[in-house]
Amino acid sequence: MTYQEVLENARKNLAPRCRVCRECDGRACRGEVPGAGGKGTGAAFIRNVEKLREITLNLDVLYDNRGQDSRASFWGREFAAPVFAAPIGGMAHNYTPAMDEAAWTKAVVDGCADAGVLAFTGDGVNPELLELPLRWMKERGGLGVPTIKPWGMETVLEKVEKAKAADPPAIAMDVDSAGLPFLAAQGGDAGPKSAKALRQMAEAAGRPFIVKGIMTVEGARKALEAGAWGIVVSNHGGRVLDHTPATCEVLPEIAAAMGGKLRLFVDGGVRTGVDAFKMLALGADAVLIGRPLVTAAYGGGAEGVRIYMEKVIAELRDTMKMTGCAVIGDITERKIRR
Ligand SMILES: Cc1cc2nc3c(=O)[nH]c(=O)nc-3n(C[C@H](O)[C@H](O)[C@H](O)COP(=O)(O)O)c2cc1C
């Protein structure tokens, strides 16, 4: 299967909820939540893509070429590149019945594992959203990071115990889900979390705890104080608050303040290996990709996910070659212009 075939299949399978645009930039689907779009005017989703596109690269091929090594280590495991799947859940709610939650979560967990990387996985009011991917990641030796929504603490702690049974290397919470337009309507009790509640979750997790949905230095400091090992700089793909800055705009200041104290992941608008390179240059330790993986899975199942991830990793290596980077650590702010 080629990537073009994956896209053609996806266009049929995702219609009318996602148009599989030439560029997945949030314009055609603005305001479509549920759906694939951004909340309100869709400005935050659109800005994630636009601001990342504005950053340019410093071409430099005058060096002694020893090849490009994109590998990166997290939690004592080695990955083909610091590029992971972002947690996405709710196929019935957001997309089409061409793929159910079981097929989607299996495709993304297996496809990422086959490409030498890993998937963060989602959660929802329906317990299947958390539990199905736990089953697949357990089959792959705990290869995945379950991401639990900020429910009331009793529910959170129950879900942490379920997640631990799959033996993942880390557990995350998408704290920004407090702003999801449909969660309350579905009967969920997700809301803002105090430092005390976060610390309780970090302790219950008993392994690296990642707070997803941080957009300010202050938020990053609070996550650190609450015992987080890492954060995901994220605005949930523009789905929780209209008119936030782009993630690539806030990442450098968060990296300057917190680099070395917290591991920094980022998502929002990453579509290619070139985009991943830009985020790494802005200070991220690793990059998460969301919507394009849904397209890949609807177009080709686990194979589609593997093909897409391998394409992104190849693009990242090519960008490293053309900017004079031999290893991921060579990707610094000097390699880009903004
Ligand atoms: C349909 C949909 C469902 C999502 N579900 C979750 C989820 O269950 N948990 C979570 O942490 N983030 C969820 N997200 C947000 C993604 O993890 C990620 O932050 C966002 O998609 C990144 O932006 P991108 O799609 O532009 O790459 C979801 C996003 C979409 C589009």
From 39, 180, 236, the mutation candidate for ligand 1 (largest count of ligand atoms within 8 A of CB) is 236
Which pLDDT band holds residue 210 (cuts at 50, 70, 90)? very high
- CATH number assigned to the domain comprising residue 293: 3.20.20.70
Residue-range definition of the domain harbouring residue 90: 3-178+189-337
Atom of ligand 1 minimally distant from the CA of 232: 19
Atom of ligand 1 minimally distant from the CA of 86: 17
Note the pLDDT of residue 187.
75
* Pairwise CA distance, residues 2 & 306, whole Å: 11
Residue 201 pLDDT exceeds 80: yes
Residue 259 pLDDT exceeds 90: no
Note the pLDDT of residue 333.
98
Residues with CB under 6 A from ligand 1: 36, 48, 86-90, 94, 122-123, 147, 174, 212, 234, 236-237, 239, 267-270, 289-291
Give the pLDDT confidence of 284-325 residue by residue, as tens digits. 999 999 999 999 999 999 999 999 999 999 999 999 999 999
Give the pLDDT confidence of 126-156 residue by residue, as tens digits. 999 999 999 999 999 999 999 999 999 999 9
CA distances, 102 to each of 88, 105, 250, 276 (Å): 12, 5, 35, 28
Alpha-carbon dihedral sign for residues 313, 267, 280, 72 = negative
Atom of ligand 1 minimally distant from the CA of 93: 1
Amino acid, res. 224 = L
Atom of ligand 1 minimally distant from the CA of 212: 11
Peptide bond into 16 cis (omega under 30): yes
CB–CB of 166/138 below 8 Å? Answer: yes
Alpha-carbon dihedral sign for residues 129, 163, 212, 83 = negative
The residue contributing the CA closest to ligand 1 atom 15 is 236
- Distance, CA 37 to ligand 1 centroid (Å)? 10
When pLDDT is averaged across residues 229-252 and rounded to a whole number, the result is 98
The single-letter DSSP state of residue 208 is: -
Q: Is residue 183 part of a domain?
A: no
From 17, 39, 231, 239, the mutation candidate for ligand 1 (largest count of ligand atoms within 8 A of CB) is 239
- Distance, CA 289 to ligand 1 centroid (Å)? 9
Q: Is residue 200 part of a domain?
A: yes
* Pairwise CA distance, residues 38 & 27, whole Å: 9
* Pairwise CA distance, residues 192 & 226, whole Å: 14
- Distance, CA 267 to ligand 1 centroid (Å)? 9
Q: Is residue 61 part of a domain?
A: yes
Give the pLDDT confidence of 154-198 residue by residue, as tens digits. 999 999 999 999 999 999 999 999 888 778 778 778 899 999 999
Q: Is residue 184 part of a domain?
A: no
Residue 214 pLDDT exceeds 80: yes
Q: Is residue 196 part of a domain?
A: yes
Atom of ligand 1 minimally distant from the CA of 270: 27
Q: How confident is the prediction for the chain on average, in pLDDT?
A: 97
Q: Is residue 288 part of a domain?
A: yes
* Pairwise CA distance, residues 99 & 105, whole Å: 10
Note the pLDDT of residue 335.
98
The residue contributing the CA closest to ligand 1 atom 2 is 88
- Number of domains, the chain: 1
Atom of ligand 1 minimally distant from the CA of 172: 11
- Distance, CA 60 to ligand 1 centroid (Å)? 35
pTM greater than 0.95 (yes/no): yes
Residue 12 pLDDT exceeds 90: yes
Percent residues over pLDDT 90 in the chain: 96
* Residue 92 CB contacts under 8 Å (≥ 6 apart), including other chains: 100, 101
The residue contributing the CA closest to ligand 1 atom 31 is 36
- Distance, CA 85 to ligand 1 centroid (Å)? 10
Note the pLDDT of residue 266.
99
The residue contributing the CA closest to ligand 1 atom 3 is 88
* Residue 129 CB contacts under 8 Å (≥ 6 apart), including other chains: 89, 90, 101, 122, 123
* Pairwise CA distance, residues 306 & 115, whole Å: 5
